[in-house]
């Protein structure tokens, strides 16, 4: 957790372990936790359990977005921008959405175009590629949250790759 809902990553890791998740590991001060769960329930149930744990322990009401290892593998295989000419991973990000957007949500942004910046919504992710960097793009988390009435959190491609590497070693 970063920004106004600051939680030390060591404390967050302990919370996950106290909630019954094993091998909880955080990645930098980003709010990302890689963990193992024996819970066979739906990801939404696990998200709710963690959200309640954070609220009870830290008094923060924050959305939790879980992606399983197969979902992360799919993220890599479905990334529409990896084959861009002169692809630069430093100019790539993904917004992870809390819930699957409806067709009505997607219709609100599907025809928006801010070249050379590009985005593609696939499932619960919005892939963003800004060939000139993120400094002047209009395609940022708040833009999509307001336009689509969704909740999301963005991670750059380097962070996503590192988290995926950590997860594959568990």
Residue 112: predicted pLDDT: 95
pLDDT beyond 90 at 46: yes
pLDDT range class, residue 31, cuts 50, 70, 90 = confident
pTM for the complete prediction? 0.91
Cβ neighbours, 10 Å, residue 53: 18
pLDDT range class, residue 4, cuts 50, 70, 90 = low
pLDDT beyond 50 at 25: yes
3-state secondary structure the chain: CCCCCCCCHHHHHHHHHHCCCEEEEEEHHHCEEEEECCCCCCHHHHHHHHHHHHHHHHCCCCCCCCCCHHHHHHHHHHCCCCCCCCCCHHHEEEEEECCCCCHHHHHCCCCCCECCEEEEEECCEEEEECCCCCCCCCCCHHHHHHHHCCCEEEEEHHHHHHHHHHHHCC
Residue 39: predicted pLDDT: 81
């Amino acid at each position: 957790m970063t920004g106004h809902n600051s939680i030390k990553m060591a404390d967050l890791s302990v919370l996950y372990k106290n909630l019954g998740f094993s091998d909880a590991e955080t990645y930098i001060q980003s709010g990302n936790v890689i963990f193992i769960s024996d819970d066979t329930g739906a990801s939404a149930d696990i998200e709710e359990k963690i959200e309640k744990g954070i609220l009870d322990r830290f008094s923060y009401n924050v959305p939790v977005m879980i992606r399983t290892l197969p979902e992360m593998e799919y993220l890599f295989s479905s990334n529409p921008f990896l084959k861009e000419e002169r692809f630069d991973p430093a100019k790539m990000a993904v917004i992870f959405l809390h819930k699957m957007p409806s067709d009505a949500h997607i219709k609100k942004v599907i025809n928006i175009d801010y070249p050379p910046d590009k985005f593609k919504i696939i499932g619960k992710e919005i892939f963003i590629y800004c060939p000139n960097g993120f400094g002047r793009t209009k395609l940022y988390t708040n833009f999509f949250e307001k336009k689509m009435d969704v909740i999301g959190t963005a991670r750059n491609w380097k962070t996503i790759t590192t988290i995926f590497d950590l997860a594959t070693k568990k």
